[in-house]
Chains A and B, each alone.
Chain A
């Protein structure tokens, strides 16, 4: 196992599809001032190769876990407190996602300034596609943009 910084408190996002680690980091809103370790193409018994992302002193809410599942299904999220894994969560793909993503259609009413509207997308599987509930535009997971 690759030697990476051990964290006392925070989140380890494991079993990310190889090559998707950067995208996961992007939907988490980048590093900010969090200490982050990203390992790419790590050997894995389960899936050959995988990416791992460690976030020090940072814990994820449901919205963020939903986004991770959309980008890389079958990802495991480990919550670490005082050096121990206190919770292991299998990120599950949500059926819909509200309020965190932007519609890629620039003409969509959800992109119009000052309209009182929250974005809302239906998530379809195999392949993963998002469909805007307002303008009906469909787009693949790798095109998602944060609000």
Chain B
């Protein structure tokens, strides 16, 4: 069922699929911790096709493949490759599929990953296609919650910041719906969660930064370019900042997450709080991608 499967969109994942990935991620996490990772990908090649740069995602995929004993080829700067010579995405993917056993790709155009899956003879792992999907991020987010809180079922998650354009929070809504989570959407009026993602959810919506009842506080960056008026941005961004004072109102057993990079929406003083899990979250990207690679390659 997993062998040769493409990982394109979290919308394609059932609850069972997600649980499968999390179980295997836990296994990889444990191997990494004990330093005894089996060489499941020995002799195999991962191609990382980054049509748009994203250092964090690329390094995480590459580390995952190498931890499993495999090797990596690819590009991270499309201007240096044939893309500049106007080769189509489809042709670039077909070429890479001829050289490698599995492909991780990132692309500025939404829908590019689905196109890649249609033309590729090897599994595609979508590392982000424009504003559309970034399923490995969602899966590592879910793993972080599961690992740090022990469960995904019935949790209360507060999402803070830019909920309108934030791809990660949209996908997380879709996934957590399968686990009967309840949601609190905290954002400025202009950056509210779009209706299409709220369908079928149990949620409340507010402009007030009150996270005292949340099990998970998921923070996203508010970007200046979303506001036509710079003064409006300056005024609003200060409202949605997680500092020591805000953290002191949080439940003892709760966690703070952020897809990174953060700017000043989480103060540095919060980093030492045991509830701050955003660096661990970034680390979990490696075992999550190890699990996915091994699964689509039929190695576990």
Would you call B119 and A116 a contact (CB within 8 A)?
Answer: yes
The size of the chain B interface, using a CB distance under 8 A, is 22
Would you call B130 and A117 a contact (CB within 8 A)?
Answer: no
Interface residues on A, range: 10 to 19
Interface string of A70-106 (1 = CB under 8 A from B): 0000000000000000000000000000000001010
> What's the least CB distance linking B120 to chain A, in Å?
12
Instruction: Provide the residues of chain B in CB contact with A134, threshold 8 Å.
Output: 110-111, 114-115
Would you call B90 and A116 a contact (CB within 8 A)?
Answer: yes
Would you call B132 and A116 a contact (CB within 8 A)?
Answer: no
Do most interface residues of chain A lie in helix, strand or loop, or is the interface mixed?
Answer: loop
Instruction: Provide the residues of chain A in CB contact with B168, threshold 8 Å.
Output: none
A125 CB–B CB distance under 8 Å: no
B109 CB–A CB distance under 8 Å: yes
List 28 interface pairs A-B (beta carbons < 8 Å), by A numbering.
A105-B110, A107-B109, A107-B110, A107-B130, A107-B131, A109-B107, A109-B109, A109-B114, A109-B115, A110-B111, A112-B89, A112-B109, A114-B88, A115-B88, A116-B88, A117-B90, A117-B111, A117-B115, A132-B111, A134-B114, A134-B115, A135-B111, A135-B130, A136-B9, A136-B11, A136-B111, A137-B110, A138-B196
Q: Which residues of B contact A (CB under 8 A)?
A: 9, 11, 86, 88-90, 107-112, 114-115, 118-119, 129-133, 196
Q: Which residues of A contact B (CB under 8 A)?
A: 103, 105, 107-110, 112, 114-117, 132-138
Instruction: Provide the residues of chain B in CB contact with A108, threshold 8 Å.
Output: 109-111
Instruction: Provide the residues of chain B in CB contact with A117, threshold 8 Å.
Output: 90, 111, 115, 118
> What's the least CB distance linking A56 to chain B, in Å?
40
Q: A112-B109, A117-B90 are in contact. List 4 more A-B contacts (CB 8 A).
A: A114-B86, A114-B88, A115-B115, A136-B9
Would you call B88 and A109 a contact (CB within 8 A)?
Answer: no
Complex Cα gap A94–B116 (Å)? 26
Complex Cα gap A138–B114 (Å)? 17
Instruction: Provide the residues of chain A in CB contact with B9, threshold 8 Å.
Output: 136
Evaluate whether A107 and B88 lie within 8 angstroms (CB atoms) in the complex, with A133-B114, A134-B115, A136-B132 already known.
Answer: no
Complex Cα gap A103–B114 (Å)? 15
Instruction: Name the residue on A nearest B116 (C-beta).
Output: A109
Would you call A135 and B132 a contact (CB within 8 A)?
Answer: yes
Would you call B90 and A115 a contact (CB within 8 A)?
Answer: yes
Would you call A109 and B111 a contact (CB within 8 A)?
Answer: yes
Q: Please provide the 7 A-B residue pairs with the shortest distance between their CB atoms, ordered closest to farther.
A: A134-B111, A135-B110, A109-B111, A135-B111, A109-B112, A109-B109, A134-B114
Complex Cα gap A117–B9 (Å)? 18
Instruction: Provide the residues of chain B in CB contact with A138, threshold 8 Å.
Output: 196
Complex Cα gap A107–B133 (Å)? 14
